[in-house]
C-alpha cells in the first residue's frame, strides 16, 4: 500500500461526508425497528407480477438491444413516452430536451459536474434534500441557505442573498428547488411564490433547478404548474425519477432542459457511466405502454394518502404540546419541529433504543441549523406500524421534555 | 435561458470531449455497415432464456429487495460470489475489499473523483482505453503517455517519466494499466514486465490501476497472474465488469482494492448514484449461482476465438504489404498499424462510404500520436461479416496507398 494514502486524495473526496441517510438505511434492515428514516417506497406497491410478464416480453422482443450497450441519451421509446407525458402537462419539449440518467442522484451529480468549480456558490433551501447537498458538496460547491416560510423558499430572503452576492461580484451557479412536497419539509410552493422565484432567477440571471421526484404523488389540493413550464424560456432544469412512482430498484431518472444544457449532460454522462441499463429502460417503457404505470400510480397515491392521514391522526393523538409538524399534500415526508431546546440527535439515540427511527433535521440544513427538527417518512412502513411508530416516538419525546 | 451559458460551465465540462466511440456507436445502427468500431459483445452470446427464467425467480423470491433501493456497497450475495471467484485466482480479499459499480466506467469515474485534483498527473499507455482517458480528463487530470513495446507498457520509459516527475517535485496520482488483451492494442503484459511495473510503483510510491475487463476471455497461451495478487500489498486497484463476459446491458462492474480505498469509493458513490440497481445485481448473482455463468463464458470464449482466427486469416489473405496488426491471445480487439504516411481519419471517411467502420487509433493516444493506427473489434459482427468487413477494409486501404 502506498505510503501516505491521505496525501493523494482529491479535494473532492476530502470534503465528502458519508450520507447520514445511507448509513441509516442500514438500520432499516433490523426488522424490530419501525423506520421513518429512509425515503423508501412501500414494497407492497411494487408491480411484481406485471414486471415478470413484461421482462419476459422484452427479452423475447429485443434481447439484442436490451442486453447490449445503449446510447448515452437513453432508450428512444422511453424518452418519447416521458416527453409525451410532460407535453401533456404543458412542457414545450421534444426529444432533444431529455436525457435518461441512472436515477435522479446521477442527475444531481452530472449537474454538479457540469456547473460547479470548487468554491462556486449554490443556493439551497433551509432545509434541502441531502442527496442534492451531497452532490454539490462533492464538487466543492459552497451552499448558501435560504430559509423557508409556510410557502417554501422565502423569496424575500432569496433576493437579499442574490443581491449580496451581486454586490460582492459573485453569481451563484444555480438555485436548487424541490417545489412539490419538499424533501424534507413536506411543503409545496404555491403559484405566486413560484412566479416570484422565476422572476428573481431572470432578474439575477441564475439557473433554477427544479427537482421533482414527488410531483405525481398528490393526495389533495390543486396541482401546481411546474417551474419548467411556467418559465418557458429554458432557465429551468427539471429532474425526474421513477424511484417514488414506480420502483427505485431500476435506478432510472431523467433530466429535462434546454437542448444546449442536455448536450452537456450527455457529454458528462459518457464519461461517467456510458449509458443507463437499456434492460431496465425497456422494461419501464413497456410498463408505461401497457398502461400499468397509470393504474399503479393511482394505487400508490391512494396507499400513501391513507398512510399520511393515519400518521397525521396519530400525531394529533399522541404528540405532546410543543411539538409541531407539516401537513404535506402529497409525497413521502412530513417534518417535525421539536421545542427549541431539544436536540434531535440525542433524541435519535433514545429512539433507536425504543425501536423507532427518523432522520435528524440538521443534516438537511447546510448551515447546521434545524437541530430541533426531524424528517418523518410515512410511505415505507405498514399502516399499523405507522401508528405504532408514532406512539413510540411520542413516548421518547415526552421522556426527553 | 440564462444570458451567457458558456460562462457558467465548469472547467470540468469545458475540458470534456464527446467520446468518439460513443458517437461511432450510432453508426453501428445502420444495418448495412459492418462495424468493427464499438467494443460490443456478440448479441447471440446473450443468455436470453436463462435470464427470463432467473428474472422470474428473483421477482418471486425477493421482490421487496430487488425493486427497492440497495446498499451503496452492492448486493451482499453478488459481492460474495465475486470475492470467492477472485480468491480462487489468488486474491487475498474479503467483503471489505469490493464495491459494486454501475459498470466499469463508473469505477473509472469514481477513481478520478477520488484522486484527481485539476492538473494532477496520471500515467497512461500509448495507446490506452478511451473511457479511461475520458474519465481522467473530465476531472482535469493531465495524461502522461508511456509508449508500448511488444510486451505492453515499456517499463524503461515508465521509469524515465517517473524520474522526470520526481525531479520536478511531482508525483502522478496513478499508473493506468490494462494488462490483458489491452484495449485497443490487444497486447498482454507478460509476468516479468508485470513485476517490473509493480516494482516501479513501489519505488516511486504510486498507485497502480489494473483495469481488467477481458482477463477471462483468453483463447490461448498461459494465464498471467493479475497485478493485484502479484503485488499483494494493496498498491493495486483492480477494476472488473460483467460487460464483456455476461451482458453490458446490466451495467454491473466492481472495484477491488484495499479497504481504506474501497471506503472512499463507497462515499463517492453515495453522492454519485446512491446504489447500482439491486434488480440486475440479484439476477446476476443467481445467474452465477446456477452455474450459467461458467457454461456461457466457455461458449463466448469459443465464439470469439473462432472469430479472431477467421479475422487473422482474412488479414493475412487480404491486407496489402506495409500493414501490420497485433495477434491478441484473447479479448475483443486487434490493433492495425498502417504505413507511416497514412492517416486513419481520412481512411475512416472512405471506409464508411464502403460500409465498414473502425475506430481511428489517435483517439487512444493522449498525445495525439498514432495517426496511422486503427482499432478493430472482432466480437460484434458475425463470422461471415467479419471476413467480408476485412475484405472491404483491405480494398479501402489499397485504394489509399
pLDDT at A196 over 70: yes
Flag whether residue B273 sits within 8 Å of chain A, measured between CB atoms: yes
Judged by CB atoms within 8 Å, which residues 66-105 of B form the interface with A? 66-72, 102-103, 105
Confidence of residue A22 (pLDDT cuts 50, 70, 90): low
Tell me which of A71 and B5 has the higher pLDDT: A71
Question: Residue B129 pairs with which residues in a beta bridge?
Answer: none
Phi/psi of residue A184, nearest 5 degrees: -100, -5
What average pLDDT score do residues A187-209 get?
A: 97
Ranges of residues in chain B with a pLDDT under 50 are: none
Domains within chain A, CATH numbers bracketed: 5-47+294-400 (3.90.1150.10), 62-290 (3.40.640.10)
Q: Do A274 and B103 touch (CB under 8 A)?
A: yes
Cα distances (angstroms) measured from residue A66 to each of A103, A288, B63, B122: 18, 16, 21, 35
pLDDT at A28 over 60: no
pLDDT at A2 over 90: no
Instruction: List for chain B the helix, strand, coil content (%; round to 5).
Output: 50, 15, 35
pLDDT score for A328:
97
Cα A306 from Cα A42, distance rounded (Å): 12
pLDDT score for A13:
86
Cis amide leading into B184 (omega within 30) = yes
Flag whether residue A140 sits within 8 Å of chain B, measured between CB atoms: no
Cα A386 from Cα A308, distance rounded (Å): 9
Q: Do B134 and A48 touch (CB under 8 A)?
A: no
Cβ atoms of residues A158 and A180 within 8 Å: no
Tell me which of B122 and A45 has the higher pLDDT: B122
pLDDT score for B108:
98
Cα A306 from Cα A189, distance rounded (Å): 23
pLDDT at A277 over 90: yes
For residue A294, the distance in angstroms to the closest alpha carbon of chain B comes to 18
Nearest to B69 among A18, A60, A248 (CB): A248
Nearest to A13 among B114, B134, B250 (CB): B114
Judged by CB atoms within 8 Å, which residues 160-179 of A form the interface with B? 171, 173
Which chain A residues contact residue B258 at CB under 8 A? 1
Cα A400 from Cα A204, distance rounded (Å): 46
Tell me the pLDDT tens digit for each residue of A73-99: 999 999 999 999 999 999 999 999 999
pLDDT score for B30:
75
For residue B144, the distance in angstroms to the closest alpha carbon of chain A comes to 17
Judged by CB atoms within 8 Å, which residues 188-217 of B form the interface with A? 205-207
pLDDT score for B19:
65
pLDDT score for A1:
79
Q: What is the pTM of this model?
A: 0.96
For residue B256, the distance in angstroms to the closest alpha carbon of chain A comes to 13
Q: Do B109 and A273 touch (CB under 8 A)?
A: yes
pLDDT score for B24:
62
Confidence of residue A27 (pLDDT cuts 50, 70, 90): low
pLDDT score for A7:
84
pLDDT score for B31:
82
pLDDT score for B213:
96
Judged by CB atoms within 8 Å, which residues 13-32 of A form the interface with B? 13, 16-19, 22, 25-26
Amino acid at each position: 500500500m502506498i505510503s501516505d494514502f491521505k496525501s493523494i486524495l482529491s479535494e473532492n473526496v476530502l470534503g465528502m461526508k458519508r450520507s447520514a441517510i445511507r448509513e441509516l438505511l442500514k438500520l432499516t434492515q433490523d426488522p424490530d425497528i419501525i423506520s421513518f428514516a429512509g425515503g423508501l417506497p412501500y414494497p407492497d406497491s411494487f408491480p411484481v407480477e406485471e414486471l415478470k410478464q413484461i421482462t419476459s416480453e422484452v427479452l423475447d422482443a429485443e434481447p439484442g438491444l436490451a442486453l447490449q450497450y445503449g446510447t448515452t441519451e437513453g432508450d428512444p421509446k422511453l424518452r418519447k413516452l416521458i416527453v409525451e407525458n410532460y407535453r401533456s402537462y404543458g412542457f414545450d419539449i421534444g426529444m432533444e430536451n431529455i436525457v435518461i440518467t441512472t436515477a435522479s442522484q446521477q442527475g444531481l451529480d452530472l449537474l454538479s459536474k457540469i456547473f460547479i468549480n470548487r468554491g462556486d456558490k449554490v443556493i439551497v433551501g433551509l432545509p434541502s434534500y441531502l442527496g442534492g447537498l451531497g452532490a454539490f458538496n462533492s464538487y466543492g460547491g459552497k451552499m448558501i441557505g435560504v430559509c423557508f416560510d409556510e410557502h417554501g423558499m422565502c423569496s424575500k430572503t432569496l433576493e437579499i442573498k442574490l443581491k449580496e452576492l451581486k454586490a460582492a461580484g459573485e453569481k451563484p451557479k444555480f438555485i436548487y428547488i424541490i417545489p412539490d412536497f419538499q424533501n424534507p419539509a413536506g411543503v409545496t410552493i404555491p403559484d405566486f411564490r413560484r412566479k416570484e422565484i422565476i422572476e428573481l432567477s431572470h432578474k439575477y440571471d441564475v439557473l433554477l433547478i427544479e427537482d421533482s421526484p414527488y410531483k405525481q404523488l398528490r393526495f389533495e389540493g390543486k396541482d401546481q404548474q411546474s417551474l419548467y413550464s411556467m418559465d418557458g424560456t429554458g432557465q429551468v432544469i427539471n429532474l425526474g425519477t421513477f424511484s417514488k412512482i414506480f420502483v427505485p430498484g431500476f435506478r432510472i431518472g431523467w433530466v429535462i432542459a434546454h437542448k444546449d444544457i442536455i448536450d452537456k449532460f450527455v457529454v458528462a454522462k459518457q464519461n461517467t457511466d456510458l449509458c443507463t441499463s437499456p434492460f431496465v429502460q425497456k422494461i419501464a417503457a413497456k410498463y408505461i405502454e401497457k398502461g400499468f404505470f397509470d393504474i399503479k400510480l393511482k394505487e400508490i397515491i391512494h396507499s400513501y394518502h391513507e398512510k399520511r392521514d393515519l400518521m397525521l391522526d396519530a400525531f394529533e393523538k399522541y404528540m405532546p404540546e410543543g411539538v409541531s409538524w407539516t401537513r404535506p399534500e402529497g409525497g413521502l415526508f412530513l417534518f417535525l419541529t421539536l421545542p427549541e431546546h431539544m436536540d434531535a440527535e440525542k433524541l435519535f439515540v433514545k429512539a433507536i433504543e425504543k425501536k423507532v427511527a427518523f432522520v435528524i433535521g440538521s443534516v438537511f440544513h447546510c448551515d447546521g441549523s434545524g437541530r430541533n427538527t426531524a424528517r418523518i417518512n410515512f410511505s415505507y412502513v405498514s399502516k399499523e406500524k405507522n401508528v405504532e411508530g408514532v406512539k413510540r416516538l411520542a413516548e421518547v419525546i415526552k421522556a426527553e421534555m
